[in-house]
Each structure stands twice: as C-alpha cells, then as structure tokens.
Amino acid sequence: MSTGNLQLLSDTLAKAKSEDRAALVAYLPAGFPTVDGAIEAVKAVIESGADVVEIGLPHSDPVLDGAIIQTADDIALRGGVKIADVIRTVREAHEATGAPVLVMTYWNPIDRYGVERFTAELAAAGGAGCILPDLPVQESALWREHAEKHGLATVFVVAPSSKDARLATITAAGSGFVYAASLMGVTGTRESVGNQAQDLVRRTRATTELPVCVGLGVSNAVQAKEVAGFADGVIVGSAFVKLLLDAPDLPAGLDAVRVLAGELAEGVRRS
C-alpha cells in the first residue's frame, strides 16, 4: 500500500523552525490557467522559496475563497479539470521538487469520488495530505481513518470565532499542521486584524503541539514578516493567483510568481 508524505510535511515544517523562520506555504489551484500551466506555476513557487504547496481542487461553490480564486477556479472548471488532473498536478510537482504537496478541497468532490479511492490515489502520487475547510470534525472519522492508513495529513481550519474548547476538539483530530484562517475583512484596521490572528495562534497553540500556519490575506513580504513573527507558517494564495490572472501570458505569469515567492521567502526569515 502506498504511503503519503505526512512525515515529509512534518519534517519540512520542523526544518523551517530549526532555521528560526516561518515556513512559506503557497496555494495554487489545479487546472489554472491550464493543467500544465498550473504544474509549471507550482514548480516555480517551490523553486523560488516556497516550502510547502497547497493545490486547490476547483469547486463550483467555494465557501472560503475570495473573488480572485473563484475566477481562477471558473477558468479551470470551464477547461474541464478533473480530480485525475489534480492528482497528476500533485504527482508531477512533488516528483520535480521533492516538496510536500497538499490538496485543499471541499468535502463534496471527495465524497462523490470515494474516500478510499481518493486517499489511495493521493498517497500514490506522493501527496502529503488534505486541507478540508468545510468538513466538520465530528463528521470526519471516515476521512481520518483512510488518511491515517495512507500516511496523509488531515489539516483542519480554525477561525477567530472558534471558542477554546472547540479549538481543542479540532486540533486533537488534525495532523500535519493547523490552518488558522484570519480573513482580511473590509472592516477594522490592519493592526487589529494582525492582533486577531496573533490571538488565534496563541489560543490554538495552547491546545496542540502541531505547527500553526496562518492564511491572513498575506500578499507581500512586509505582511509575511509580520505573520512570521508569531506563526509557524505563512500561507499565501490569492497574491500568486492574481499575478497569473493579470499576466499577458504564462511565461510572464511564471516570472512574476517567482519574484513574489522569492520576496516572501525572504520575508518569513525573521532576522
């Protein structure tokens, strides 16, 4: 039976910590701008400094993703992206770079595809696990059983609204790392959002030994540095996707992605 790369993920996050820095986690959707283009983009961010990559499984009804990622997902879905393409993206990105590659997906596509089939194929492709933003912990036993069997991480999302007891329940069920979502709303100042994220990380750490990575609307090196000051990992998605959306062609998009990844990789080094 194939074993996924949960251990590689854990080792990669531990290595960043040993270097006194936060890990840089990049998000890119599969199939955007094309399946091959997405694979090139994932390789580009890793080669330019990302430690870990999340591959988005495009979904018609995303509840967590903002307009930029929704636009990219629409392009991927119109292009006919399938779960097989997502698995291929994971395989080729991991084989080319040796980096841990996760899939970020809503529950419905996995449920329809089949949990056992999905986890077996993801592990066989060298995947490190899944981030499951809409799977309630209390309904996750089947997923976790198969993920554990195949050596895959189960990454749950916590939010500033999560109460302490709820945080403990979520982190006890998860593996790999905890995804702390502190969404950048239009209200409140930049400073208060930072404080909210910092408070969430502090509360989450009180419940678990797992690394806590923050997705916070981080789009530049200054913000990456700020978040790296209190989190184990800094997650950047929309900023990369926007560069690919705005680029006149794929080569230009890849160049832009490489530059941003390099800047962010400097930003997460705390010194």
What are the residue ranges of helices labelled H in 155-220?
Answer: 164-173, 190-205
CB proximity list for 53: less than 8 A, separation 6 or greater: 25, 26, 27, 28, 42, 45, 46, 93, 99, 100, 101, 102
Indicate if 54 belongs to the active site: yes
Residues 6+ apart with CB under 8 A from 106: 57, 59, 61, 62, 63, 132, 133, 134
Look up residue 140 and give its two tokens.
Answer: 């996750």
Q: Name the active-site residue from 11, 47, 51, 65.
A: 65
Q: Within 10 Å of residue 261's Cβ, how many Cβ atoms?
A: 23
Which is catalytic among the residues 51, 54, 92, 226?
Answer: 54
* Burial of 89 (C-beta count, 10 Å sphere; 0-12/13-18/19+): buried
C-beta of residue 149 within 8 angstroms of C-beta of residue 119:
yes
Can you read off the two tokens belonging to residue 230?
């209190």
| Element (DSSP H or E) covering residue 261 | helix 250-267
> Does residue 59 come out as left (phi exceeding 0), alpha (psi in the -120 to 50 range) or beta?
beta
**Residue 47 is among the residues annotated as catalytic for this protein:** no
Secondary structure element (H or E) that encloses residue 14, with its range: helix 6-18
CB contact at 8 A, 99 and 51: yes
Nearest to 6 by CA among 57, 45, 52: 52
Q: What are the residue numbers of the active site? A: 54, 65
